[in-house]
Structure 1
């Protein structure tokens, strides 16, 4: 066999081995992602959600924090909240999996019991190491809440669109709420606003975790509809939300912006969040 033919044969063999390695690696990440999600219980998710919300919402002890938080007005107008964390890791292939919960605003203004959700998947790309991103998705419409209530999957950017949510205080935030997208998405990576897009992300109802905590297969529509009392294990999460909704913004400057994909600040334009523009 000539040297050229030997080289070709070796390259073909290496290609086959590489393909097999990536296929096996992808399978491992997929199963690892599922285990990552299935390992979390509702009490753990509620505790995690409280910590995530603390990092996104203003601290009443430090009113200035409102200038770099999900606006009080956005929170007060919210019909629901989805709070979750996504772990992304990989080398050559990449895997991502996440879990969290969703709550809905009840007619009396209080919050429903939480329903567990998850997201996961595998993608290709030259990536090294791992990254954790926290997400808070503000549900601005009853249709958005209903999407999480009917069971099955919710694809963001499908029937329900999402736009990057405003941050800060003042009249421009109120203007953004005049015609909001069905969902406002907020994300943080390494503690900094990431401005990451959720387009195409699939969120799945975790019936297993709900059943394990509530004791029976209660559908999400009953949990989010107020037919299940809010559990004590989620009390810290409710306290964080209530405190942020009651923040005194008197004397704070009116500053509002949207974090871009690179984390830069883009001044808010009152048309940015119009659902017709997304």
Structure 2
């Protein structure tokens, strides 16, 4: 056997072994991701969601915090919110798993009961250690809410289009809201806005958690349409939203960040005319 043939045979063997290792590692990470969220109940998700959302919204006791928060106007126009936390961990092979909930705004301005959601996946790359990221997805259209109500998978960037949402106060925020994407996405890691893309992220209804809490297999459609009364365990979440929507911004300067066409944020305390130019 020539040296070239030996090299080819060795390379083929190494490739087969590497593929088997990738499959085994990927399955292990995926299983661990499912285990990560398996024990999370709806009351726990509601409490976690309230804490996460608080970190993204302005503090009514410190109105100036609105300059680095999800705008009041965005929240007031939201048709729904999806709030979740993702853990990403691994070494060379990476896996992510996360859970949270989604709520919808009712015609009278109140909010629906929460429906639990989950996400996960595996990947390849230099990932050493673990990282936790919080996400808030603002659903700007009824179609976006319906996507979470159909009982299947919701793919960000596929089922519904998404872009990074504006941050701050002022006329430029209103410009961003003139023709908004179906979804605004926000992310924070270690307490700071991270600007991470959710493109391709799949969110799945957690029928098990909904069934365990509501006592029967209630579909997300019924939960998000208001047929299920809002539970007491979600009261803190509703209070956080109400407080942020009532914030007085009249004495605040106009300072905002708005997304570009690519989803990146640019400072917007520059001058915009009435048409946003």
Taking structure 1 as the reference length, the TM-score comes to 0.89
- Displacement of 1:17 after TM fit? 4.4
For the residues of structure 1 that align with 2:23 and 2:226, how far apart are their CA atoms?
A: 44
Q: 8 Å contact 2:173–2:258 — kept in the other structure?
A: no
Taking structure 2 as the reference length, the TM-score comes to 0.90
- Asked if residue 119 in structure 1 is aligned to residue 119 in structure 2, the reply is yes
Q: Which residue of 1 aligns with 2:25?
A: 25
Q: Which residue of 2 aligns with 1:266?
A: 266
- Displacement of 1:13 after TM fit? 5.8
- Displacement of 1:25 after TM fit? 1.6
Q: Which residue of 2 aligns with 1:188?
A: 188
- Displacement of 1:186 after TM fit? 0.4
| Cα distance per residue 1:128-180 (max 9 Å; x no partner) | 11111110000000000111111111111113100100000011111111111
Q: 8 Å contact 1:37–1:97 — kept in the other structure?
A: yes
- Asked if residue 99 in structure 1 is aligned to residue 95 in structure 2, the reply is no
For the residues of structure 2 that align with 1:107 and 1:6, how far apart are their CA atoms?
A: 71
**Local SS of the residue matching 1:177:** helix
Q: Which residue of 2 aligns with 1:238?
A: 238
For the residues of structure 2 that align with 1:258 and 1:131, how far apart are their CA atoms?
A: 26
- Asked if residue 216 in structure 1 is aligned to residue 229 in structure 2, the reply is no
For the residues of structure 2 that align with 1:141 and 1:3, how far apart are their CA atoms?
A: 64
Q: 8 Å contact 2:83–2:102 — kept in the other structure?
A: yes
**Local SS of the residue matching 2:178:** coil
For the residues of structure 2 that align with 1:4 and 1:85, how far apart are their CA atoms?
A: 51
RMSD between aligned residues: 2.4
Structure 2 unaligned blocks of 5 or more: none
1:1-278 equivalent positions in 2, closer than 5 A? 16-258=16-258, 266-268=266-268
| Cα distance per residue 1:67-107 (max 9 Å; x no partner) | 00000000000000000111111112111111100000001
Structure 1 unaligned blocks of 5 or more: none
Where has structure 1 moved over 2 Å in runs of 4 or more?
1-23, 267-271
Q: 8 Å contact 1:193–1:259 — kept in the other structure?
A: no
For the residues of structure 2 that align with 1:176 and 1:150, how far apart are their CA atoms?
A: 28
Residues 146, 2 of structure 1: alpha-carbon distance in 2 compared, 3 angstrom cutoff? closer
Matched pairs, number? 270
